Every structure is written in structure tokens, then in C-alpha cells.
Structure 1
């Protein structure tokens, strides 16, 4: 009986040491900290579920050039529609280039020259959904041919296909 009690005490003591060691490891190396993929998490995309959404830019002298620099996208996002809004609605022009670069400089979406009018879906025009990985994201776009009158251009992103 005494032998069983000594074995039981040793087993409990060993289990306590193991539990303490595991707790210490989990405390020192939290998995949440390892999952952070952004170099600058303090510079998030304004709405991580709809990156760059609703930003109106002023097209001057018929041209524009947009570069968001690096932003932090907190979670992956699939964009199935990118609808062009123009003011005035009768304006037309060309999107000369769109490049969305993701973590590690990997190009996640791109598009070459496309004529645009009010309601153009850039995702459909450029060949399919944009799959953006969580982490550092950079959006760049250039356009031309919008005429001499001032024009405002915006793009609304959606995870749903255009109706």
C-alpha cells in the first residue's frame, strides 16, 4: 500500500511539473503574436472587410495616379466586384493600370488598360476575382483620357458578384 501511495505522489508531482512547464511555454510564446503578418499593424486598411472602398479621387487634366502605400489587411478578402463611380456620371476615361500587391511583394491582382464608364465592373473586365491575403497590401492605379473637365472617380469593392 505504501508503495502505491509513493507512486501516486510521484505521478501527481510529475503532472504538476508538466502542467507548469506547458503553462510557461504558452505564456511566453502566445500564438496570436505569431500570427501578425503586417510590418506596420498601426496603419490598417480603413475597412478591412472592403479595402480601399468608397475613396473618391479627383481626376485633374484627364489623368490620375493613386498609390495607397503599404496598408495592413487584418484578414484575407475576396473581391468579386469593383464598380466604378464617376461624377459627372457621363464622364468616360481609361484605367491604364491597376496593381494590388500583397505580402512579400506578391502581385495579387492586376489589370491593364480598360475603358470605363459609370458602373463598369473592373473585376469582370480584368478577368476574375481578386484574392487578397492578410498582411501588407498596396494598391496602385493610374488612368487617363478623362478630358479636361474635373472628374471624381471612385471604386466600390464587394465580396458579392455584380447583380
Structure 2
């Protein structure tokens, strides 16, 4: 499922296949149609009139370790480039839930378009991850995040290893 979802998102970014190239209207159904792994979408109007989009993403950890956060970084960048390019989109929260574990949330990532660099659409997925706010839901997934940061220096927030990784 993970490989299939990544392929669909990649095709959407390249303009191939049936997936949309970018979100034209911010609706739950249009966003949910982007990827079969999206199990739910909530739209929240912010005080400035723009929208915060919360996405429930079905994704079981495959092997553990940094590879899981690398997969999250890829999904984060792909969804951000499809959704946050819309002028009415403000924030994107992606919740990663494990169907094999009663849909327990094992990770979350937040993006605030106002805090992204002006060139955010051109940066690598690791560099965009560095501008995101990843949240591990357990000590184990936090350790996986540290492994990811060790492997991909450009993904580190402000280029630094987070303090919780040095503990």
C-alpha cells in the first residue's frame, strides 16, 4: 500500500495518471481523491479566512528506523506541493495511523505555509521536512526520527540535531 500511494502521489506531481496535479478547490473529497491512503480530511477555517487541512493517512510502519521518517518526508512534500500551493490553504497537518495497530497514530507532521521559505516549492523533500514540525507518538518512533536526522543532515531543523536526539 505504501509503495502504491507513493507512486500515485509521484504521478500526480509529474502530471501523469488520473491524480490531480494540484488542488483546484479545497474540499475534503478533492483532497481525499489524491491518494487511496487518505482515510479522512477535515477542513478548518482560520481567522484570516484561509484553511487548515487535517489529513488522516493510513500507513503502517514497514521496517522501523529512519526509513519510516524518510517515507513521511516524501509524503509530506508531495501533499504539500499539491495542497499548499492553493492560495486559500494555510496549514497542513498529516496524521499517520497504523491500520494493523487499531489505527493508532504513530507520527504526525505539521506545515505552516507562512513559516516556509519563499522557495519551498523548489527545495528537496528533505529540506522541506526541515521546515516542518514532525511529532513522534512514541519513544520508538522518536528514536526512528533521530536515525533519520543522522542519515539526512539537510532534513534537520535549522541544520541542527534536535536536543531530544542528543539525550
TM-score by length of 1: 0.35
Higher Cα radius of gyration: 1
- The structure richer in strand per residue is 1
- The structure richer in helix per residue is 2
Instruction: Using CA pairs under 8 Å that are at least 6 residues apart, name the structure with larger relative contact order, 1 or 2.
Output: 1
TM-score by length of 2: 0.34
